[in-house]
């Protein structure tokens, strides 16, 4: 199959850990590589966000990234990208004049918009099916972030419209299926394919980085409030009171190296909380860490702790599990599927420092428990979440889309699709 991926803000080539670069970048790169291993040809379209990027780059056999001029050639926060989606769509559709894809797969709602627009610009009578993975949903984000949500206002009606007009939606976890149905998407058009973990990069055994304190707990991810790193900081004094004073919290992710990260506004907020609670000396910000250095860091930890307010999927717990490290996870979104309570980690309620401290204390006190959860996590990651398996499930969804799409179907025009501007669902 010839497959176009559209990933407007999340390039497979970007450095990870910054505000807008995380799981989606990993997902698009790894899924494309795994589909290519199955013999498919993949072109990933992303926005040109720097002047010095080549137009086309081959990143793996049968996978190329095409940078499309759409808005300024510099970093633009993803929530400001909507005005450039029509230009992105035109650039993609022009590129299709060289070679038309059999199917296009949009990642994130704005890419879905651009993918649908690009298919409308092709020759009349040619329907290119669109498969959509949202990665995150505006409805969920608004519910949790309220007025702090910086998404464009139009997301309220454009995102559900993308969902209705795409030929098939791929949800990454069972929780998302409920949300999609609530958005009005018929269940028959929804498939599930989770994110995966790179088992070559995160093999079971290997070197662990050195650590200086008796215990290390690890938080990995973009440094944004909804990842809930403050919950873990608030758990540190409680852990101390429970008899674990020599614990380091290592925080990986942020806008640059450790020093730049400490200047970041979210890091400053977190450091202020740590100072106020008297645990500043226990918190280390490592900043952005390249992929290859991640396995050693995971293995240096007694536990990985993920305490987001909500989580569309969450690749970090899978990486921890692949490395044999137990996960303390808020029981939200995708984490409820990946981390099995009392088998591969411990579930806790979101935004709950007391429960976080209690779960961590249980793990730190019991090496046997850590080992058995770690072993089970490793087995689960290997048996269920290899990218090869995820690619096979995605391919199944593609084939269903190709056979199920009525010949001659055409995606709605923009006017048909968004008839009442502002009619939020
Ligand atoms: N990551 C990384 N270096 C960093 C910070 C994060 O390689 O400094 C990777 C991390 O290992 C994971 C991804 O970025 O593969 C984050 O994905 P996740 O789905 O957990 O979170 P998202 O960013 O999608 O919210």
| Ligand 1 atom with least separation from CA of 17 | 5
pLDDT in tens, 128-144: 999 999 999 999 999 99
Write out the E strands in 152-230. Answer: 168-171, 190-192, 215-220
Decide the pairing of beta strands 56-60 and 63-68.
antiparallel
Of 12, 14, 15, 16, best ligand 1 pocket probe by most atoms within 8 Å of the beta carbon: 16
Instruction: Name every protein residue with a CB atom under 6 angstroms from any ligand 1 atom.
Output: 16-17, 22-24, 26, 220-222, 252-253, 288-289, 291, 294, 313-316, 319
Of 7, 11, 18, 26, best ligand 1 pocket probe by most atoms within 8 Å of the beta carbon: 26
The answer to whether 249 and 286 have CB atoms below 8 angstroms apart is no
Secondary structure class of 89 (helix, strand, coil)? helix
- Residue 408 Cα to ligand 1 middle (Å): 41
The answer to whether 112 and 162 have CB atoms below 8 angstroms apart is yes
Domains identified in the chain and CATH numbers: 2-196+387-424 (3.40.50.2000), 215-384 (3.40.50.2000)
Residue with CA at minimum distance from ligand 1 atom 23: 22
What pLDDT is attached to residue 262?
79
The answer to whether 330 and 341 have CB atoms below 8 angstroms apart is no
| Ligand 1 atom with least separation from CA of 195 | 19
The answer to whether 87 and 76 have CB atoms below 8 angstroms apart is no
Of 13, 22, 228, best ligand 1 pocket probe by most atoms within 8 Å of the beta carbon: 22
pLDDT in tens, 149-184: 999 999 999 999 999 999 999 999 999 999 999 999
Write out the E strands in 31-86. Answer: 41-47, 56-60, 63-68
Of 316, 330, 332, 335, best ligand 1 pocket probe by most atoms within 8 Å of the beta carbon: 316
pTM comes to 0.89
Hey, how many other C-beta atoms are within 10 angstroms of the C-beta on 99?
10
| Ligand 1 atom with least separation from CA of 311 | 25
Across the chain, mean pLDDT equals 93
Sheet holding 63-68, edge to edge: 56-60, 63-68, 41-47, 2-6, 103-107, 130-133, 168-171, 190-192
What pLDDT is attached to residue 122?
83
Q: Which of 312, 16, 300, 20 is nearest to 173 (CA)?
A: 312
| Ligand 1 atom with least separation from CA of 227 | 25
Distance between CA atoms of residues 153 and 259, nearest Å: 35
Phi and psi (nearest 5°) for 154?
-65, -15
DSSP of 235-279, one letter per residue? HHHHHHHTT--SEEEEEEBSSSSHHHHHHSHHHHHHHHHHHHTT-
Phi and psi (nearest 5°) for 215?
-125, 150
Parts of the chain with a pLDDT under 50: 420, 422-425
């Amino acid at each position: 199959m010839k497959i176009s991926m559209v990933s407007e803000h999340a390039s497979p080539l970007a450095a990870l850990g910054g505000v807008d670069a995380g799981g989606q970048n990993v997902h698009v790169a790894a899924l494309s590589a795994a589909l290519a291993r199955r013999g498919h040809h993949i072109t990933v379209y992303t926005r040109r966000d720097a002047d010095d990027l080549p137009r086309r780059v081959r990143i793996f056999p049968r996978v190329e990234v095409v940078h499309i001029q759409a808005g300024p050639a510099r970093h633009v926060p993803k929530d400001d990208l909507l005005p450039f989606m029509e230009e992105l769509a035109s650039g993609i559709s022009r590129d299709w004049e060289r070679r038309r894809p059999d199917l296009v797969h949009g990642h994130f709602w704005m890419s879905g918009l651009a993918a649908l627009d690009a298919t409308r610009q092709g020759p009349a009578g040619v329907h290119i099916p669109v498969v959509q993975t949202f990665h995150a949903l505006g409805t969920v984000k608004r519910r949790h972030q309220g007025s702090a949500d910086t998404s464009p206002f139009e997301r309220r009606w454009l995102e559900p419209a993308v969902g209705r007009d795409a030929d098939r939606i791929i949800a990454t976890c069972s929780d998302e299926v409920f949300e999609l149905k609530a958005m009005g998407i018929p269940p028959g058009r929804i498939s599930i394919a989770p994110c995966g973990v790179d088992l070559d990069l995160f093999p079971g055994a290997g070197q662990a980085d050195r650590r200086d304190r008796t215990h290390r707990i690890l938080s990995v991810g973009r440094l944004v409030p909804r990842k809930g790193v403050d919950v873990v900081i608030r758990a540190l004094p409680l852990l101390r009171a429970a008899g674990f004073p020599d614990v380091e919290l290592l925080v990986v992710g942020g806008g640059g190296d450790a020093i730049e990260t400490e200047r970041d506004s979210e890091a400053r907020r977190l450091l202020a909380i740590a100072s106020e609670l008297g645990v500043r000396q226990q918190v280390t910000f490592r900043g952005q860490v390249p992929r290859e250095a991640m396995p050693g860091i995971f293995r240096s930890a007694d536990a990985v702790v993920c305490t987001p307010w909500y989580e569309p999927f969450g690749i970090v717990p899978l990486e921890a599990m692949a490395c044999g490290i137990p996960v303390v996870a808020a029981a939200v979104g995708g984490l409820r599927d990946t981390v099995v309570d009392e088998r591969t980690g411990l579930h806790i309620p979101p935004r709950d420092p007391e429960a976080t401290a209690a779960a961590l204390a249980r793990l730190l006190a019991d090496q046997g428990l850590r080992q058995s959860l770690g072993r089970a996590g490793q087995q689960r990651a290997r048996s269920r979440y290899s990218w090869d398996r995820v690619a096979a499930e995605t391919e199944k969804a593609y084939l269903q889309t190709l056979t199920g799409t009525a010949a001659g179907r055409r995606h709605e025009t923009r006017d048909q699709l968004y008839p009442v501007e502002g009619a939020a669902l």
